[in-house]
Structure 1
Amino acid sequence: MITSTNPRILVLGASGLIGRFITDDLRQRGCATVGVARAFSPSQRVSPFDIELPIMALDAPALASLIRAHEIDVVVNCLGVLQDGPGSDTTAVHREFVARVLAAITACGRRVRFIHISIPGTADEDHTAFATTKRDAERLIASSGVAHAVLRPGFVIAPSAYGGSAMVRALAALPVDLPAKDAATPFQPVAVADIAATIAWLAMRPIDDETTRAVSWDLMQPEAMTLGDVVDAFRRSFGTMDWPRVAVPAPLINLGAFAGDLCSRLGWMPPMRTTAIAELRRGVRGDPDPWIAATGITPTTLDDAVGTHGATIQDKWFARLFLIKPLIIASLVVFWVASGSIALLVSFPATTAILTTRGWPDWFAAPFAAITSMMDISVGVLIAFRRTAAFGLTAGILVSLGYMLGCAILTPDLWLEPLGALVKTGPAIVLMLVALLMMDNR
């Protein structure tokens, strides 16, 4: 039975924006909290109670064993994916996994409360796989007979930023504006600290308390707000409120979402994808009164959630560079693939002539030119895929340094070439270094 002093809590998806915050918050409140995720970044590995497991591969018996092994009283599910793609299956994550967790709780031999993070809205507003599978999970939970709480946070504002929250910061930090229709979308926010406080409050309730045995709450500020209001709050923090801005045409946003979908096929997780834009335009709204009345929690205001003090320089740099990062990656991919392809397919005779006129034999010059051209193309392809991007960037830096050193030894006159091709390699190396240092997502 859940005690009122020190419940044992299992957080599934403890590496994400919400999961990481509530795991740390619950521990600070004295709750024995086990965080589970497929992988934690090096900076997140701060506790021996953070466990890396192939969480989506665990069946119901394995999950039940995990619950029993750690004597868990409360399971909090923070897992979610935005859109179907390589390594992301909305049905598997939102519906099938929840079904296994419910089966595990039923079979584990313990009295366990299940707290599930869902999304605001109603079924008649659900038009994406993300939303419909989230709603399917809610129906499974409601019919399970398990003591549960379904929490539907609004737009989450947290000290860290990821996905949509990072995108809002980027909009606030740059001289751009949303189309008027999108800016007017209802958008009720919630501070992540309020979500953590709600989970802590629920965890302290006796599982026999009928008033909290089966609840579904919208967690958000009660004041009506728009997406434009939320962006403006960050603009005030960044000091960009009075900047002149250029409105982004809606077709350009749609094009960016389509490009984001293509990038997701390469393993990247851009925040701007078709599902993200569809959900943004649907809006974020709900009725937080039942939540406020039951818990007595006073929702943090938007200005307090964003921060009453000005943004730090770290905040500003991140927001300004967030949308520049994909541009850097894309430009490096094009740079390497195009330069290698041109040298191999378009100007191969000229490439080999540069070497033969400097005394290199034909039998060596042609293979050398072909190999280096294909190497350039390979570097670009490696950078294009998220899984190999860091290796590709490192290889690109080493290859560029090799070109510079090799030319200095073998063909030093190329340094004086009128267009300064070798001189421009230095800035390219710096750009690859910048991209390499920006690879972390969490």
Structure 2
Amino acid sequence: MSQRTILVLGASGLIGRYVTDALRAQGLRVIGVARSLSPAHKMSTLDIELPILSLEVAALAHLLGEYAVDVVVNCLGVLQDGPGSDTNAVHRNLVARLLQAIGGSGRAIRLVHISIPGTAGEDRTAFATTKREAERMIAASGLPHAILRPGFVVAPSAYGGSAMLRALAAFPLDLPEKEMATPFQPVAVEDISATIAWLAARDIDDASVKAVNWDLMQVEPITMAGVIEQFRIAFGTAGWLRVAMPSFMLDLGAKGGDVASYLGWMPPMRSTAIAELRRGVSGDPSTWIAATGIAPKTLTEAMGRHPATIQDKWFARLFLVKALIFASLVAFWIVSGFIALFVSYRAAADILSAHGFSPALIDPINIGTSVMDMSIGGLIAFRRTAAVGLVSGILASLGYMLGAAILAPDLWIEPLGALVKTGPAIVLMLVALLMLDNR
């Protein structure tokens, strides 16, 4: 039998990236496709950037034929509607076009679709309902397919919800008691990859796997509290006293995450994430285990039996702090510019006048620097322009420090030390710049 070619859609995501690399390590020919790939993700000439969501049926069919694809693995997914994220477009419309492309390609192709656990009656969010609608379309297509419903995915890398749980484990903080008691069955990402490799090795005419729907997760029941506790054991924080946050704080955090999403950020704590968390993660993996012979790893096995590394600990500790850093920098620049322009305008003008500035320059300098400060805050607030805002903030701060040293050196020794405090602000902006990556 000739080597099969696997096309992975969403090769930059948590599951998609691992699956792409793991299958290649087994000697399989894997085409990794994503809307955008960072330099770290471009591990091969077969990693391709394509505007996958805008590809029509003909373009998708051409892609399948160009690379002689035998298996398509769809790992694409978005958590919540917002700027640049459309659950219906990703989960439903793309799948509909993909099914048409596979059906019209003239090739015998198996579709492996990554979905979510649960039943339609439990679906309450656009994320869940569109995922379930895609499942129904795939089942009705008559094409060879496997719908995989992984539980909480444990992987070497962390993103979104998996990153948030690590962060909770690193702090003496618990979710509300009700949320901690929800079922939360995990699955090792290695087991997902092994399942896809097993499916890829099956003949397309094998009736036993022509249309399967499997829950992928460990057998032993476990709650959210149990999952977080296992991370705490790895981080060495298991013995800490902890405080459970009230439910209203969780809801407030979700609303704040929703607002941040409209600025282009992708925080893990959003309304959909909390709704899905409260539903829990559970299923029946017995059919999957019986069919494949794969013995799913337990959470302890998936995480390994060794303590967390220092990079694991740093990431977990800084993950929640990242939002605080960016929010504080946005507030710092906008509020300082607002105060200088509307509250302390006269005092700022007097300082410039006292240091010999021409009256004709005082207003333009005062207004210009205030507007610049507020603009920097606005740039940092939006994910797309945050890097520009941070670099601008660093340069502006250095400019203020240098200008004061030349024109008004006495400001360096004023009682409140405003210019001295600019140095730590520059360092914080540098830290924010280094933490900007999401994946």
Whether the TM-score (by the shorter chain) exceeds 0.5 is yes
Q: What is residue 23 of structure 1 aligned with on the other side?
A: 20
CA drift of 1:6 comes to 2.2
Aligned equivalents of 2:90, 2:53: Cα separation in 1: 7
Q: Secondary structure at the match of 1:143?
A: helix
CA distance in 1, matches of 2:104, 2:138: 15
Matched, 1:283 2:280: yes
Pairing 1:103–2:97 present: no
Question: Is 1:178 matched with 2:175?
Answer: yes
Secondary structure of the 2:8 match is strand
> 1:382 maps to what in 2?
379
In 2, Cα distance between equivalents of 1:46 and 1:321: 27
Alpha-carbon distance, 1:140 to partner: 0.2
Please report the TM-score for the alignment, with normalisation by the length of structure 2: 0.99
Deviation, structure 1 residue 278: 0.3
Do residues 395 (structure 1) and 370 (structure 2) align?
no
Q: Which residue of 2 aligns with 1:166?
A: 163
Amino acid paired to 1:382: L
1:4-403 pair list within 5 angstroms: 6-403=3-400
SS at match of 2:149: strand
User: Structure 2: how far apart are the matches of 1:7 and 1:286?
Assistant: 31
Distance between the aligned counterparts of 2:311 and 2:375, measured in 1?
Answer: 34
Q: Which runs of 5+ in 1 are unaligned?
A: none
Secondary structure, aligned partner of 2:241 = coil
Q: Does 1:432 align with 2:429?
A: yes
Aligned-pair RMSD on alpha carbons? 0.6
Query: 1:391 & 1:6 partners in 2: Cα distance?
Result: 46
Q: Distance in 2 between matches of 1:183 and 1:8?
A: 42
SS at match of 1:43: coil
2:43 and 2:140 mapped to 1: Cα distance? 37
Output one character per residue of 1:153-183: Cα deviation in whole Å (capped at 9) or x when no partner.
0000000000000000001011101211111
**Distance in 1 separating the partners of 2:268 and 2:356:** 52
Out of 420, 424, 436, the position equivalent to 1:423 is 420
Contact 1:6 1:30 in 2 (8 A): no
Identical residues among aligned pairs (%): 67
Q: How many residues align?
A: 439
- Letter aligned with residue 210 of structure 2: R
- TM-score, normalization: structure 1? 0.99
- Aligned to 1:270, the other structure's residue is in SS state coil
Distance, in Å, in 2 between the alignment partners of 1:279 and 1:177 is 17
1:245 aligned partner, one-letter code: R
The whole-number CA distance in structure 1 between the counterparts of 2:394 and 2:264 is 22
1:237 shift after superposition: 0.3
Distance 1:158 1:76 in 2: 18
Give 2:267's aligned amino acid.
P
**How far did residue 30 of structure 1 move?**
1.0
Counterpart among 406, 410, 414 of residue 409 in structure 1:
406
Task: Provide the rounded CA distance (Å) in 2 between the counterparts of 1:416 and 1:317.
Answer: 36
| Corresponding letter in the other structure for 1:23 | T
Deviating above 6 A after TM superposition, structure 1's stretches of 4 or more consecutive aligned residues are none
How far has the Cα of 1:45 moved from its partner?
A: 1.2
In structure 2, how many angstroms separate the alpha carbons of the residues matched to 1:129 and 1:253? Answer: 20
CA distance in 2, matches of 1:133, 1:178: 28
2:10 corresponds to which letter in structure 1? G
Distance (Å, rounded) in 2 between the aligned partners of 1:80 and 1:29: 26
